[in-house]
Structure 1
């Protein structure tokens, strides 16, 4: 790919992550080759409290759980999913 290309993705937030970010979804434009982990780092720059959850947040890409190293493509939907509680 050409250097400087960007991918636009949709990011969905749930539970405490939604409370921290202040919305349930937003679009991001990231450098080509970005991973799911880059989404969290990018959002953490504007919402530092989000980084307190970085070791417990799970990612889903296009409604399937995915590792943080998953490379994102144009139009992907990434969900940041905090741990759930209950029983």
Structure 2
């Protein structure tokens, strides 16, 4: 059976050696539907298996963080500011 670290388990994650995962791939995929599964090689994290829904949520969160960073960068950027009315006029929105 897979070894579970209390800290990781408390956060919905399990650890399993790659060699054991290879033998029980179907079980590991089923586990990944409920929690993230860390695959370990020589006792160190080698990969993580997550459900497609969790993967999409992680991608969405990463994209959101990138958007926030881009906004913050734009706010602090030096240079000429263009009034919103001018932007709308240039785009033919007014």
Shorter-chain TM-score above 0.5: no
| TM-score normalised by structure 1 residue count | 0.23
More strand by share: 1
Mark the structure with the bigger radius of gyration.
Answer: 2
Higher helix share: 2
